[in-house]
Amino acid sequence: MITRILQEEEKNIYNSIIIHPVQTWEWGDFLISQGHKVYRLGVFQKGKIISAYSMSFHKIPKTRFSIGILQRGPKINQETVSNIKKIAKDENAIFVKLEPDVYQKIFGQNDQEKFFGISMDFPGLVVSPKVAFFPHTYLINLEKPEEEILVSMHHKTRYNIRVANRHAVEVFEKTNDSGFEIYLKLLFETTKRQGFYLHTEKYHRDLWNTLKNTGTIHILLAKYRQEILATNMFFALKDRFFYPYGASSHLHKEVMASTLLMWEAIKLGKKLKCKSFDMWGSLGPNAKTTEDGYGFHNFKKGFGGRLVQFVGTYDLVINQPLYKLYNIVDKYRWKLLRLKAKLFRH
């Protein structure tokens, strides 16, 4: 097998094998627009591409060092680690964060539970103290008939769908610049109200402008009495459907617009011939009501998907002394960012 860096003219063969939105060539273009350096690598066997992944390097301001990130890529092996390490050293990376799009466990009842036993035991690889993607998610099987998906939902979720229908909540797709502006406005209203950290408006605009013509993005809006109450952005890639971003108004919570929107998203995923719906992240199997994000976790859980655990988040350490220092500084930086978000909540 040969692994090599791919060039622009190989974009199509790269995308032909990628199965997660953040690994697409276009997402790499978006990262480049944010000032990061991106490498796309292809793994070839007998001249045919069999695997591919991209990683980005983010400069630490006022230093010559960087941080590498490889999110939702393929299964890691020793050759992958060696290739990443070579590039990371060229980029003066302190470490490279790895979060493979690989399941470690699918939770279920008795014999339905599956454990895959994937090993991440490679030299220089340590469990990361900080995750980017949640290590768990809910996965809905879109190959089931609508009736079966409804039956698998929590009874309260089904009831809330009926409530929204009784109130004549309307859900429709508006995947264009106008729909994006509505989505973005409500997204930042939600962020301010709930007091959590979010990327800048420029980040979201650049993401939209880079990806809007790829056919992967779908924006759904939920309307009640001529007012938009909820809006979500979804990604469809190959046979997978994803839910990365959502927002909702504080008005008319009683009409359950967000619940109906998600049900219509499930139906859209089926219409697009997707086989699974990845909710993009959740808490774990023993989630507590006191945990941050429990409300969102419980909302996703209500749609009846299987809880999945990924192999986790690991750091490939290149510079051990600086790695320790970086984690100390980064810990306090994020505490300040979260405090700032809460202070400006109202």
- Residue ranges per domain, the chain? 2-126+312-343, 138-309
Contact present, 40 and 28 (Cβ < 8 Å): yes
For residue 199, the model assigns a pLDDT of 86
Percent of the chain past pLDDT 90, that is, above it, reads: 89
* pTM of the predicted protein model: 0.93
Predicted confidence (pLDDT) at residue 339 exceeds the cutoff of 70: no
- Domain boundaries 2-126+312-343, corresponding CATH code: 3.40.630.30
Using the CB atoms, write b or e for 294-322: b if 16+ within 10 Å.
eebbbbbbbbbbbbbbbbbbbbbbbbeeb
State the CB neighbour count (10 A cutoff) for residue 178: 10
The reported pLDDT for the residue numbered 338 is: 61
Amino acid at the residue 82: S
CB burial of residue 163 (10 Å; 0-12, 13-18, 19+): middle
Res 109: pLDDT = 65
Structure tokens at 77: 């092996």
Residue 75 has pLDDT above 90, yes or no: yes
Let me know if the fold of 2-126+312-343 is the same as that of 138-309: yes
Determine the pLDDT at residue 111: 61
Q: What is the pLDDT at residue 284?
A: 96
Q: Are strands 276-278 and 48-59 parallel, antiparallel or unpaired?
A: unpaired
- CA end-to-end span of the chain: 56
| CATH-assigned architecture of domain 138-309 | 3-Layer(aba) Sandwich (3.40)
- Token readout for 78 is 């020793």
Give the mean model confidence (pLDDT) for residues 225-250.
97
The three-state secondary structure class of 127 is strand
What pLDDT band is residue 244 in, cutting at 50, 70 and 90? very high
**Contact yes or no for 262/304 (Cβ under 8 A):** no
The pLDDT value given to residue 332: 81
